[in-house]
Amino acid sequence: MRFPRSCGILVHPTSFPSPFGTGDFGPGADSFFELLEQTNQSIWQVLPLTPIGYGDSPYASYSAFAGNTLLISPERLIEQGWLTHDEVYAHTVESHWKADYGMSRQLREPLFRLAYNRFKAQKGGGKKAHKRQMDAYTHANQHWLPEYALFITLAQEANFSPWTTWDAGLRKRTKTALDKARSHYDEEIDYQMWLQWVFSTQWSALKKRANDKGIRIVGDIPIFVDHNSADVWVHCKQFALDKDGHPTHVAGVPPDYFSETGQRWGNPHYRWATMAKDGYSWWVQRFAQMFHLFDAIRVDHFRGFDEYWEIPADEPTAIHGRWVKGPRHDLFETIREKLGDLPIIAEDLGLTTPTVEQLRDDFDFPGMKILQFAFDSDESNSFLPHNYPQNCVVYTGTHDNDTSVGWYDQASEEERHRMRVYTRSSGDDVAWQLIRLAMYSTADQAIIPLQDYLALPGEHRMNFPGTVGSNWKWRHTPQMLDNLDRDRMRELISLSYRGRDKGNPAVSASNPSAGK
């Protein structure tokens, strides 16, 4: 599916300012929409919105369907009448440029419990209306919601130890054990389902505000799911597990220039033949949910649908894995038959093959181009703008890359020299030089991490792959947005014909250097 010539910004909601430790769907999101609107941009790209797991990573989740309830805005709950202004702001923290997930949980959980109790205690028409809305949501999400609510309740009781360590009845999902757990934890299960309804309600309202302003939202779907997740626990026959529920083979990538032992991610592999027998129903439901939440989605590790690196689970590294054919065209043809057009961006970075490219092109999915990868070889480098096909999305970098300033600081002198020659610059203002390349390129879409518009150094990167501890924490402060040169952004976007109103661009007298 082709997209119009356009541009936007990559920033996750946890990166918005808020007084609750991490960003959310509250007023910080509206300030960001104002930035997009004022600079004539039409795309907002986010990371996965699913519950965060190990290392606070949105790519290690307890569910492929549920939402991260830390993104629920306590301030929006005032509007529902479930919390008061004084209750919400009684305990807050300064909106720092680093997220504090522990503090976020500590501040939000008591407010959510209080709001839930108020929801249950409502009387009259308001109670009936809210109950109808929650009942409708529960019915529409029956294929995952009740089991997720049970799973997360049991996981909390087990201090999030793997489900393979639970009592045998729960581990093997016997009817007796499940019925007993549902009865015993009835109140907590209902609370978890309520949280998911509130998440959905707030996100739907946020998406409507964005769409009403002409902003399309691009989501992110990881190819694999975490072993310690509701999906694997419930659908264990569709994953490569042994009789005790442990993975027999796990995901990763083979050794390469960057790692002599490869990467062992540890996610269980799918039993694709089993999934094909029921028409890939889990995948159809997953993509249907994503297309409901977003206007388009980036599919992470797209090449894994063509072939994937299968590592025996008892191997400590990825060295002794092997390539195995994936579902290829069959999966996407099935999804398209069920859901219609597929507004997908294929993350096709890293090692690719002709069959991966054929799969991408046969469905007209745009691939990705990263400018930070463009200067480590000669003019044939596929990441240099003069080599781009039109049907692609160009980024200065992604959440897995350094900021552009940080990249330049760490780059070899050869790379720096090639970049300076290509951009006809001295190397000053490097972030804006790369932004300019992205905007003027032939790529249909250009998406820039917010850190690069702010020209921030490497300590502000979102993720450093292969590490844990300091990732997923970056946030922008209100002052950072206030200091953005919006005139420069708007004029560059206009000159590159990427604005929503693609009229005749003109450099304003107040800032004639915008397009330089």
Which residues are designated catalytic?
Answer: 300, 347, 400
Q: Residue 344: how many CB atoms within 10 A of its CB?
A: 25
In contact, 193 and 138? CB cutoff 8 Å? yes
- DSSP letters, 234-291, are HSGGGB-B-TTS-BSEEEEE---SS-TT-EEEEEEPB-HHHHHHTTSHHHHHHHHHHH
Closest Cα to residue 20, out of 109, 119, 113? 109
Separation between Cα atoms, residue 324 and residue 249, nearest integer Å: 11
- Strand-pair partners of 239: 270
- Strand-pair partners of 45: 10, 218
What's 62's DSSP letter?
S
**Structure tokens, 179:** 């019925």
At 204, which helix (H) or strand (E)?
helix 186-212
Helices in 266-363 by DSSP H: which ranges?
272-277, 281-293, 329-339, 354-362
In contact, 407 and 397? CB cutoff 8 Å? yes
Phi, psi of 474 (to 5 degrees): -65, 140
Tell me the CA distances in angstroms from 268 to 220, 225, 349, 358, 433, one per residue in order: 19, 7, 22, 26, 41
Separation between Cα atoms, residue 417 and residue 423, nearest integer Å: 10
**Structure tokens, 475:** 């946030």
Q: How far is CA 116 from the centre of its chain?
A: 27
Torsion of CA 436, 442, 446, 451, to 10 degrees: -30
**Structure tokens, 130:** 């809210």
In contact, 264 and 250? CB cutoff 8 Å? yes
Phi, psi of 271 (to 5 degrees): -95, 90
Separation between Cα atoms, residue 134 and residue 65, nearest integer Å: 17
**Structure tokens, 239:** 């994953």
- Strand-pair partners of 446: 7, 394
Closest Cα to residue 387, out of 401, 374, 376? 374
Closest Cα to residue 105, out of 227, 197, 198, 14? 14
- The letter for the amino acid at 339 is L
At 110, which helix (H) or strand (E)?
helix 101-121
